[in-house]
């Protein structure tokens, strides 16, 4: 009986100390054009059943100029977007817990959004595991007016060169034709002159 009791105590202790893990998957790097929207994908796998009441999702942000992180989004049964700070009005829940999707969308991205986004999912007792990180790079776009201006300058330059080239060729041909007529006229006069023989 002592051995059986010891075995049960060890089994219970091992069972209590076992920690379930959760795996989080994200895209390592994403690029977005300034002023557009970008989806930060985050999916997860859990050894436990998933439900809207048990899963919590948190997104943290670390800017490229800082080593500290700040909470910028939280989900537990409902999305809780930030109410202040640089992300206020810019973060939208794009996930579906029942499909193991914890993605968010950043709207009207700004250069200050450059940095690392960390997705963490908890589904008790799956509380420990990996976090997913995505590096976001916000790039500037050339505006349509700048592209139009550049196209107009290049197109206008080409048109001016073609006009000058056309004038140059026309003048050359005109001179050549005039010289030919001049020579023919002189030859004609030369043949009519009876004193030439």
Q: Is the pLDDT of residue 8 over 70?
A: no
Residue with tokens 């206008």: 156
Q: How much is the pLDDT for 147?
A: 64
> Last residue of some domain: 96, 118, 139?
139
Per residue in 57-103, pLDDT tens? 999 999 998 889 999 999 999 999 999 999 999 999 999 999 999 99
Q: Domain span at residue 100? A: 17-139
pLDDT digits (tens, 9 = 90+) for 137-167: 999 876 555 666 777 788 888 888 988 888 9
Q: Using CA atoms, how far apart are residues 122 and 44, in angstroms rounded to an integer?
A: 10
Report the C-alpha gap between 120 and 33 in whole angstroms. Answer: 26
CATH number at residue 107: 2.60.40.10
Q: Which residue has the higher pLDDT, 48 or 182?
A: 48
Residue 62 domain-assigned (yes or no): yes
Write the CB contacts of 20 (distance below 8 Å, at least 6 apart in sequence): 46, 47, 48, 125, 126, 127, 128
* Number of domains present in the structure of the chain: 2
If one compares 174 and 41, the residue with the highest pLDDT of the two is 41
The reply to whether 4 falls in a domain is: no
Assigned domain for 12 exists? no
Note the pLDDT tens digit of each residue in 40-54: 999 999 999 999 999
48 and 119 part of one domain: yes
Q: Let me know whether 107 and 170 are in one domain.
A: no
- Residue with the larger pLDDT of the pair 59 and 6: 59
Q: How many CB atoms lie within 10 A of CB 119?
A: 26
Same domain, 123 and 37: yes
For residues 41 and 66, membership in a common domain is answered with yes
| Same domain assignment for residues 176 and 95 | no
Q: What is the pLDDT of residues 15-45, one digit of tens each?
A: 333 445 899 999 999 999 999 999 999 999 9
Query: Residue 1 pLDDT > 70, yes or no?
Result: no
Mean pLDDT of 91-117: 97
Percent of the chain at pLDDT above 90? 55
Q: Are residues 128 and 163 in the same domain?
A: no
Instruction: Clarify whether residues 95 and 67 are in a common domain.
Output: yes
Same domain for 92 and 189? no
**Residue of 67, 42, 44 lying closest to 134 (CA atoms):** 42
């Amino acid at each position: 009986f002592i051995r059986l009791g010891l075995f049960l105590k060890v089994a219970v202790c091992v069972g209590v100390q076992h920690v379930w893990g959760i795996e989080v998957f994200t895209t390592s790097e994403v690029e977005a054009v300034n002023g557009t929207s970008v989806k930060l994908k985050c999916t997860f796998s859990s050894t436990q059943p998933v439900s809207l009441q048990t899963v919590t999702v948190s997104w943290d942000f670390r800017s490229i100029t800082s080593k500290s992180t700040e909470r910028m989004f939280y989900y537990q049964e409902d999305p809780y977007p930030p109410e202040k700070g640089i992300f206020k009005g810019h973060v939208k829940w794009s996930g579906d817990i029942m499909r193991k999707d914890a993605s968010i969308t950043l709207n009207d991205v700004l250069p200050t959004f450059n940095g690392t986004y960390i997705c963490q999912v908890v589904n008790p007792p799956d509380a420990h595991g990996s976090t997913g990180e995505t590096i976001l790079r916000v790039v500037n776009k050339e505006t349509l007016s700048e592209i139009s201006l550049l196209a107009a300058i290049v197109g206008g330059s080409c048109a001016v060169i073609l006009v000058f080239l056309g004038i140059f060729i026309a003048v050359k041909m005109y001179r050549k034709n005039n010289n030919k007529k001049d020579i023919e006229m002189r030859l004609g006069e030369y043949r009519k002159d009876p004193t030439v023989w």
